[in-house]
């Protein structure tokens, strides 16, 4: 069993793309980050080059940069877009521990945390602590939801939905920054994040009398899957149902476009959002952890991932 690690996105997609697309819900974050990198380039999330890897069933020496493809079907995958922690697919205990060993060996990548399903994240963190002496702490505890039958808000708030355009860019950057302050889940360059969403008509606004009052974003569709993100209402307009209406509208549009897996993450520390999405017809799939590693060599990481 072996990891192959590369800086080549095309090689990663060729080796691990089929594995990721076979289970789009479980691999939603990796798939959406890859789609953004394909569209916007390797600098989408930061100045350092992203690194990718896949786990196969064939014996080979682990390497920190690939010099030839390891053959055989992928059985696990990860990617890291510094300064964000690596995103891991579900991994066996052996794969998670071996990945920790490889990443700990090469400090060039400055791994400051991990983002994965709960079991994989905890296994990786335990191995990381044993290898480096770093301690881990929970930064965010998320739950992944899948849309069942959409249940529109009743009663619906006044207003209507429309797709955001570049004319809304300045407002959306302000809202994106507000979302980052409120949740800690979206860091980095707000303008890049908004431009990426606008490039594929990925933000729906709810407006009242021609004035935007809330928004809900959605990722690019990959393997018939898309994920709702960046649901935001300015503080002075909250409690009126606008965010629920925007989320229902973007979810309905995704279904109408043929998306079969409409997903979203919630922060389990926010009971209001969890209750809202369940009222709209979203049902729990699995829990995810964002862990940070803290030591003299590993400062607290950027939080979340703007995918």
Sheet holding 211-218, edge to edge: 2-6, 51-56, 74-80, 87-88, 113-117, 282-294, 135-147, 261-267, 225-232, 211-218, 203-208, 160-163
Phi/psi at 140 (5° precision):
-145, 145
Q: How far apart are CA 293 and CA 300, in angstroms?
A: 6
pLDDT the model gives residue 47 = 78
Tokens of 246: 């925007």
| Residue range 50-65, pLDDT digits in tens | 999 999 975 444 443 3
To 5 degrees, how large is the angle CA 227–CA 231–CA 233? 170
Tokens of 216: 């809900």
Omega cis (within 30) before 47: no
pLDDT the model gives residue 66 = 40
Q: Which of 261, 161, 146, 278 is nearest to 214 (CA)?
A: 161
pLDDT the model gives residue 69 = 44
| Residue range 113-129, pLDDT digits in tens | 999 999 999 999 999 99
Q: How far apart are CA 170 and CA 194, in angstroms?
A: 9
pLDDT the model gives residue 187 = 58
The DSSP letter of residue 195 is H
Q: Global pTM?
A: 0.87
Q: Which of 220, 211, 213, 161 is nearest to 29 (CA)?
A: 220
Q: Which of 261, 251, 187, 181 is nearest to 216 (CA)?
A: 251
Structural domains in the chain, CATH included, are 2-142+288-294 (3.40.630), 149-280 (3.40.630.30)
Percent of the chain with pLDDT over 90: 78
Q: Which three-class secondary structure string do you get for 77-89?
A: EEEECCCCCCEEC
pLDDT the model gives residue 44 = 73
């Amino acid at each position: 069993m072996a990891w192959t690690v590369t800086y080549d996105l095309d090689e990663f997609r060729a080796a691990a793309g089929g594995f990721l697309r076979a289970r789009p819900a479980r691999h939603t974050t990796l798939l959406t980050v890859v789609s953004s990198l394909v569209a916007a380039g390797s600098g989408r999330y930061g100045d350092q080059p992203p690194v990718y890897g896949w786990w196969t069933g064939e014996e080979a020496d682990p390497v920190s940069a690939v010099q030839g493809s390891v053959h055989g079907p992928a059985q696990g995958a990860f990617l890291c877009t510094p300064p964000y922690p690596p995103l891991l697919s579900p991994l066996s205990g052996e794969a998670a521990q071996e990945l920790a060993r490889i990443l700990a060996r090469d400090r060039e990548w400055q791994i400051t945390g991990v983002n994965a399903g709960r079991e994989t994240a905890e296994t990786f963190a335990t191995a990381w602590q044993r290898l480096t002496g770093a301690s881990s702490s929970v930064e965010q505890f998320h739950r992944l939801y899948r849309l069942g039958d959409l249940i529109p808000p009743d009663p619906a708030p006044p207003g209507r939905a429309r797709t955001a355009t570049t004319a809304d860019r300045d407002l959306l950057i302000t809202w994106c920054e507000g979302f980052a302050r409120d949740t800690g889940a979206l860091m980095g360059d707000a303008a890049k994040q908004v431009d990426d969403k606008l490039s594929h008509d990925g933000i729906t606004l709810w407006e009242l009398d021609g004035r935007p009052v809330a928004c809900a974003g959605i990722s690019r569709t990959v393997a018939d899957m898309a994920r709702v993100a960046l649901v935001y209402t300015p503080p002075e307009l909250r409690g009126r149902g606008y965010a629920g209406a925007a989320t229902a509208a973007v979810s309905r549009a995704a279904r109408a476009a043929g998306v079969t897996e409409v997903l979203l993450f919630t922060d389990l520390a926010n009971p209001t959002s969890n209750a809202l999405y369940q009222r709209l017809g979203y049902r729990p799939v699995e829990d995810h952890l964002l862990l940070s590693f803290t030591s003299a060599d590993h400062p607290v990481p950027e939080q979340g991932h703007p995918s």
